[in-house]
Structure 1
Amino acid sequence: MNSLKYIAHYPAQLVAQVQSLIEKNQLAPMLAKKYPERHSIQTDKALYEYVSEIKSDYFRNTAAISKVGFDSKISVINHALGLHTQISRVQGGKLKSKNEIRIATLFKNTPPEFLKMIVVHELAHLKEKEHNKAFYQLCQHMEPNYLQYEFDLRLHLTVQELGLAN
């Protein structure tokens, strides 16, 4: 069951169902059928525009995001798919704060739902720093299917790790 580390904290019955799908070679085809498309956002500029559009829909009164990009150094191994950082610098006599969002490069070739899920997750950190109830409520406000996409992304990562992809 170590190979199911991405869903290990889910109920045992659900993990057993996933294990059964893997044994029957049905997990990858199921995900491929459920998420047949891949998004077209391939550059940092396109990603910045995509993130800015979602941000403007939900966070008009928050600080601007100064930088958004794909980052090949972000690793699933480090339990990160994206990073939100806030950098403070002194400029003249003022303290300036800049928000940056970096998304793991693996999201360049995923369904649009997975990219949106990770972008929503990182944007939610603009208001809620911790992964608490308010954080997940905010994620679901921005993307009502957030929890399902998060689970399916975990299944996608499992497929990738086990080499089951078609």
Structure 2
Amino acid sequence: MRAQIIFRIAAVLLITWSANNLFGQTMKTDTMPTLVISSKSAISPKVTEAFDAKFKNDVNTTWYNANKNYMVKFMTQDQKNAALYNKNGYLVYHIKYGNASSLPNDLSNMIYKKYKDCKITTVIHIEQESRSIWAVDLEYGQYLILARIENDQVQEIQRLRNGATK
């Protein structure tokens, strides 16, 4: 009898401890801290030369040190940009943020052909090596759609019901 009571208490404690560990786990993500570089002289000359050669009319540049690479955020012609360079001045990628007028006519025609009467709200252009990818947010009837254009192909990435429409 006494052994059964001790066994039950031990079993309850074990179950409680297991449940606590099972449901009490939290996901931990280790990220490298991003450091804002306040002086352009702290950036590799190869990087600044490559940036100045590619983006001549940049405004409001802010440089960041991100995991041995250099990220720069800047404005050109009222358009937000971000570019990532490695320490040797190689452009890893360039991102331009815009709106419907930022999308070239041939690409917007592709969108309007697939989604008649849609409204293009946001456009993001990603250039990486020889790739040119366009991410397009649009409103289409009662849906919000994220579409991707690459190699003259329109691909629907995500479709959500728009809570603002009835």
Decide: shared fold, TM above 0.5.
Answer: no
Normalising to structure 2: TM-score of the pair? 0.27
Name the structure with the higher strand share.
2
Tell which has more relative contact order, 1 or 2 (C-alpha 8 A, sep 6+).
Answer: 1
Normalising to structure 1: TM-score of the pair? 0.27
